[in-house]
Structure 1
């Protein structure tokens, strides 16, 4: 089994389209004549892109407290692959009536490929009954919902906060409590002019990085790409405001243009101190900062995001992976049980946080004393969970649609043109919307 690092996989976006796949091709692929396994040894075929998930499921399945009274004795058959390859292979195997997994990890930017042509409905277990007891206490179901039914459980409530170098903020007289992005950009303009240091970054590399960065700010501002019904809502005042904000930040030097948040250019900016702050999700602590600048342990802190003066939230989100259960297989019930125990119990959510830093998706756990008291030594011993708790209470909803990848493909170029000064923000959005509407008819 190849060891695929999370850092490298976070940079992988996009993937093959569904091509010739149709609803009729998938209509019977979810059915099986295999008798359901009701107890005993269950060898679960697990497909995922991240070694952390393998460790979490294997550890959880052996935990006596987590698995008490389970009818199953779990074993694992693991396949690791890149996120886009997992979905491509999954659909191809299903159409060919091949050997699909029992439990599959779906990267958030790959799930839209299963939202059209009733693919999710034909392949995955509808989790409506599984999640019903949790009501509104279960977070981040929306991105993995198709036609009103949830098909995946999110691994971690990726919450975007502001990471900042406390020592550099003190050195350059940047207030840690700046209330708005507008105020923050003004400090960034000054620090850039005087010291060639930026207080944030904007991705200008591949479409995925560009569009994800834009979406992260747009969600915070209260906008989005799609609503709950899958209708495009990008043509909005919020979208224009956010893109203008990004362009203004890059031009003033307050925001540093980098190919992506994980590569060598970003690492160099972090090491040199040229990048003194950045808005990124909680997983960036390990995947971005600790991976690139472990020697800066103790210098970084987090806080909730500055607000946009025009409204919105003090938090945002980017990234994620949900797990879905394949329907009508012999191990379907066994896979559903282990997923439910590891992903919908207090013990399982704490296991995920301890193992990979995945924030809880159950609201009550943001008040859990065991988590609130956790200190992050990389963040100078900060009790970071109190910041996550405040942010989680004001986290925007994120909806997807089957045409999400088409939008990303056509929007990345125009947004980049605006960031590079080759066009205006208004013209960039107009060009992206026009290209999208030419390809998607709703």
Structure 2
């Protein structure tokens, strides 16, 4: 789905109309990490159009934003800001429990003409019937970020890594050639991101695409969990939480990081002195000629119903997410991958990036988007995530006979908590 130039212009005009009355006031935005920095980067362009609107972006950290938003909604909106960053995978938790906590963007100017400028997989979790609770922001096409010099020291050509078995072999060579360097890291103790990326690659997720049943014990998920354990057992995938992975990048003790495309900005902003040392390649697959695309993360912006300045909030949200200028500013400055389809055609996308050894990384990363299988979070994402994380840890530590047994257990636990059936 792509907008024609005429439709894009119409959508922009219609969308901006919703904020035309927002000439003054103050708004506060909650976000986290590089996402918060990206929002901050759009304020200058926004203020060129709305000079009397003051925007304050608060970086609270990902978990704090989720926890404080949940608590604020439970308290009738008390203490909430005007605009909140919400991850797509967690979005339905809020709409399901607190449908009155957020404004309907349809009432503020988010017309259907503007909405169709985003891919359907980004809108599915953000809209319920005629209500649009949030506007799509970034997507997270998965890529392998790697240190060119560490791979070269080991004689490893990333183009030769097409399967996870290849990745294990390459990782062992990289570790041997670069003492003190590990091939990759995963948050085994607090997240399931590697499992979810590999499962999504194999067309599997916690739930089926319609969100009505549990899919985590199906074959694609089993293959994903087996691959994660194989890498952990081989010693090339070691535990590391978010902060530890950033520390490893800075300390130059890690050779690869698998993440959504938005992680580009995290690496670049945390290790600017490593310009030219990093590159990007497609994630490997379970089998030769298997699928090599997945999505991890991606967020949206929502406006709270308790905001005293919804018009100004909408004007900011619409400029930041609904215009090429806003979206490409965030891509250029902090690597936030646009969901706005017209922004993907901006000339900047095709440019070689100096930090990445002049590789045109956005052509490579965004080239996988049309191969991504949509994955549904549902209102039960948090329950499933906690269960699968615990099962994953137990499986990696030898607590289950095989991956199928582990994920059968996870599926049964999720069914008990959610009441959903297990998909055949």
**Is TM > 0.5 for Structure 1 vs Structure 2?**
yes
Residue of structure 2 equivalent to 1:123: 102
Q: Is the 8 A contact 2:293 2:372 kept in 1?
A: yes
Residue 243 of structure 2 is matched in structure 1 by 262
Whether the 8 Å CA contact 1:270–1:276 is kept in 2: the answer is no
54-63 vs 349-358, which deviates more? 54-63
In structure 2, the residue corresponding to 1:101 is in which secondary structure?
coil
Match of 2:330 in 1: 352
The answer as to 2:261 corresponding to 1:282 is yes
Does the 8 Å contact 1:202/1:250 carry over to 2? no
With structure 2 as the length reference, what TM-score do the two structures score? 0.80
Deviation at 1:212, TM superposition (A): 1.9
Offset at residue 188 of structure 1 (A):
2.9
Give the distance between the partners of 2:173 and 2:163, measured in 1 at CA. Answer: 15
Which of 348, 365, 369 aligns to 1:370? It is: 348
Partner of 1:61: 46
SS of residue matched to 1:245: helix
CA distance in 2, matches of 1:120, 1:146: 11
Alignment match, 1:383? 360
Name the SS of the counterpart of 2:356 in structure 1: coil
Report the CA distance between 1:243 and its aligned residue.
Answer: 0.7
Pick from 186, 191, 196: which aligns with 2:173? 191
Equivalent in the alignment of 1:203:
187
Q: Secondary structure at the match of 2:392?
A: helix
CA offset at residue 309 of structure 1? 2.2
Give 1:337 deviation, angstroms.
2.8
Query: Contact 2:145–2:256 (CA<8 Å) still a contact in 1?
Result: yes
Distance 1:228 1:135, change over 3 A: farther
Could you tell me which of 392, 395, 401 is aligned with 1:418? 395
Cα gap change, 1:311 to 1:441, in 2 (>3 Å): farther
Matches of 2:332 and 2:175, distance apart in 1: 41
C-alpha distance in 1 between matches for 2:96 and 2:79: 22
Q: Does 1:429 align with 2:407?
A: yes
Q: Deviations over 1:318-367 (max 9, x none)?
A: 23332102248552233223211221111111122233221221233333
* TM-score normalized with structure 1 length: 0.77
CA offset digits 1:243-277 (Å, max 9, x no partner): 11111122223x3222325316x74487465x432
1:175 is aligned to 157
Tell me the residue number matched to 1:398. Answer: 375
Distance in 2 (CA, whole Å) between partners of 1:154 and 1:90 is: 18
Structure 2: any 5+ residue segments left out of the alignment? 1-18
Equivalent residue, structure 2, for 1:13: none
Q: CA RMSD in A?
A: 3.3
Match of 2:118 among 138, 148, 155: 138
1:49/1:83 contact within 8 Å kept:
yes
Shift of 1:160: 1.4
Partner of 2:54: 75
User: Structure 1 residues 43, 382: CA separation in 2 closer, same or farther (over 3 Å shift)?
Assistant: same
1:298 and 1:379 in contact (8 A); partners too: yes
Please report how far the alpha carbon of residue 137 of structure 1 lies from its aligned counterpart in structure 2 after TM superposition. 4.4
CA distance in 2, matches of 1:310, 1:405: 33
- Evaluate the alpha carbon distance shift between residue 344 and residue 213 of structure 1 in structure 2; reply closer, same or farther with a 3 A threshold: same
Per-residue CA deviation, residues 64-100 of structure 1 (Å, 9 max, x unaligned), is 4xx6xxxx84123555534444344445445346454
